[in-house]
Amino acid sequence: MLQPPGTSVCTDRTVVHMNTLKDRHPGDLWARMHISSLEYAAGDITRKGRKKDKARVSELLQGLAFSGDSDVEEENKPEAHPAPKRLKISNVPEKNWTKRDLKPNFPSWSALDSGLLNLKSEKLNPVELFELFFDDETFRLIVNETNNYASQKNVNLEVTVQEIRCLFGILLLSGFVRRPRRGMYWEISDTDQNLVKDAIRRDRFELIFSYLHFADNNHLDQKDKFTKLRPLIKQMNRNFLLYAPLEEHYYFDKTMCECFDSDQFLNGKPIRIGYKIWCGTTTQGYLVWFEPHQEESSVMVDKDLNLGLGGNLVMHFADVLLERGQYPYHLCFDSFFTSVKLVSALKKKGVRATGTIRENRTEKCPLMNVEHMKKMKKGYFDFQVEENEEIILCRWHGDGIISLCSNAVGIEPASELSCADDEEIHQIAQPSIVKLYDECKEGVAKMDEIISKYRVRIRSKKWYSILVSYIIDVAMNNAWQLHRACNPDTSLDLLDFRRYVAHFYLENNANLSD
């Protein structure tokens, strides 16, 4: 083709310019960045007045060479092959699932609760039951740390155990006698407020309450978020376990201590904002062990097990229970904690376990698909047993689809459950594993219900004040649980039990003041 004069010169300059750009940018990025920006260029790469055509540019780039040695470089350049991906080799053998019922080999439960029998024989009153947990050692701890903290602030407080008991009496009283401001307990004239006025002066109460302390500020563990409460938490956990009813079944779950300044949130609970607390309870709601949640948990277990946060907490709770004796306890927990690995680890400890399990933790167990099971009638269930570890997984269609894992209870004996469907009541099959879990899972909920009735309402400005109030309410709940177990026919209700303890502390301090 005939070219206009000067075209060769323009073409040479363009080639030199393009080679410079090529050295600056890897691959064909240099061309894609600059070739379409030229208004005038050699050949038909771009044309003035036309829109940029990415497809046309890419097509022209395939056969374009801007320097004489570019072809040689391409030939000499070795072909780049992507590095082969390394396959993860797992040392864990594949699970061998078989459709049959579980054959557990745990011993039967035959333990006798001698501790509860001793409490029944002693016939303790409500104050004595409450002081099983807030005993003399605990009150002395509070007195020593409070006086120590006050002296660090150059305040001569000299609080006594009797005054701390009186302060506890006012806190317990605030649960069932509520006032908008705590100063009104000394202002309004009625029976309960006269009791408070006679027990302690308002200014003295405010002074003690402002310096209430539970740990030495000079010896705090900076890695522990709750280090200022750690001595009290350890003391209460020890006492809770010491007097806990010896039962076969326990439930482990999470609960909330109400606090609107906290950034922790827990959906599906009556209290959703506050401090998250891990807790293990009996089926009736007695708190055996608790631990406030923090990012770096203070709970230590075998790291080789690789069970995650939930699994580590359950393993620690199992170790706490085994301190009382090597009994075949049965722990129940929800899907946050459950995994086949955890259930297997508990079995090696001699602890039975049952819990709901998530789909991604079933270890490729060939259970019926959830969507398929929804089309089946209510009461339908599918199950598989792992042959090597003797662990069962069961999926049941009840009010919804639920998957459970256990090392101790299987399908038989199946029971009948009444179910309402389209205004008709009919019987559906319920596997034994589902029935046991339903009976045990209300332990933490019962405790929350009892505590919520008469919570301590007086707060201080310290961030951990809400947790101290929670511990007092939990101790009252546990004392009342023991009271009902020791006096099944003549037990007081929760309000009368709490009033008994509060009035005793206030009246006793009033008499000493006189």
User: Which residue, among 52, 16, 59, has the nearest Cα to 36 in the 3D structure?
Assistant: 52
What is the pLDDT confidence band of residue 305, given thresholds at 50, 70 and 90?
A: confident
The answer to whether residues 145 and 214 touch, using CB atoms and an 8 Å cutoff, is: yes
For residue range 75-114, what is the model confidence (pLDDT) as tens digits? 454 555 566 656 545 456 788 999 999 998 898 998 888 8
Using a 10 angstrom Cβ sphere, with 0-12 exposed, 13-18 middle and 19 or more buried, the burial of residue 337 is buried
Q: Tokens 């029998």, residue? A: 117
Q: What percent of the chain has pLDDT over 90?
A: 58
pLDDT at 74: 45
Cα atoms in the Cβ-side hemisphere of radius 13 Å centred on 353 = 31
The DSSP element (H or E) to which 5 belongs, if any, is none
Amino acid 165: pLDDT? 96
Cβ atoms of residues 362 and 394 within 8 Å: no
Mean pLDDT of 120-142: 95
Cα torsion angle, 57, 62, 68, 74, sign:
positive
Record the tokens describing residue 431, joined without a space.
């596997």
Tell me how far CA of residue 107 lies from CA of 100, 304, 327, in angstroms: 21, 28, 9
Please provide residue 255's backbone torsions phi and psi, each rounded to the nearest 5 degrees.
Answer: -135, 180
Say what the pLDDT of residue 269 is: 59
CB-based contact 434:466 (threshold 8 Å) = no
Distances from the Cα of 376 to the Cα of 53, 293, 416, angstroms = 57, 40, 17
As a whole number of angstroms, the distance between CA 283 and CA 444 comes to 8
- Between CA 448 and CA 270 the distance in angstroms is 8
Quick count: other Cβ atoms within 10 Å of Cβ 477? 23
User: Who's near 480: CB < 8 A, 6+ residues apart?
Assistant: 126, 129, 450, 494, 497, 498
CB 355 within 8 Å of CB 437: yes
Residue 47's pLDDT band (cuts 50, 70, 90): very low
Give the pLDDT of residue 41: 42
Residue labelled with tokens 């203070």: 298
β-strand pairing of 97-98 with 381-386? antiparallel
* Residues in Cβ contact with 106 at an 8 Å cutoff, skipping those fewer than 6 apart: 328, 350, 352, 408
The angle at the Cα of 258, spanning 162 to 321, to the nearest 5 degrees, equals 75
Rounded to whole angstroms, the Cα distance separating 17 from 492 reads: 96
Partners of 97 in beta bridges: 386
CA atoms within 13 A on the CB side of 472: 27
Q: In the prediction, which pLDDT does 509 show?
A: 86
* pLDDT beyond 70 at 340: yes
State pLDDT tens for residues 152-193: 999 999 999 999 999 999 999 999 998 888 888 888 766 566
* Cα separation values, 450 from 253, 459, 474, 497, Å: 16, 20, 9, 12
pLDDT attached to residue 13? 60
* Per-residue confidence (pLDDT) for residue 43, from 0 to 100: 44
Residue 158: left (phi > 0), alpha (psi -120 to 50), or beta?
A: left
13 Cβ neighbours under 8 A, 6+ residues apart: none
Structure tokens at 185: 């307990």
153: left (phi over 0), alpha (psi -120 to 50) or beta: alpha
Q: Confirm if 234 and 214 have CB atoms less than 8 A apart.
A: no
> What is the arithmetic mean of pLDDT over 201-223?
93
pLDDT-based confidence at 295, cuts 50/70/90? confident
pLDDT of residue 132: 97
Under DSSP, is residue 394 helix (H, G, I), strand (E, B) or coil? strand
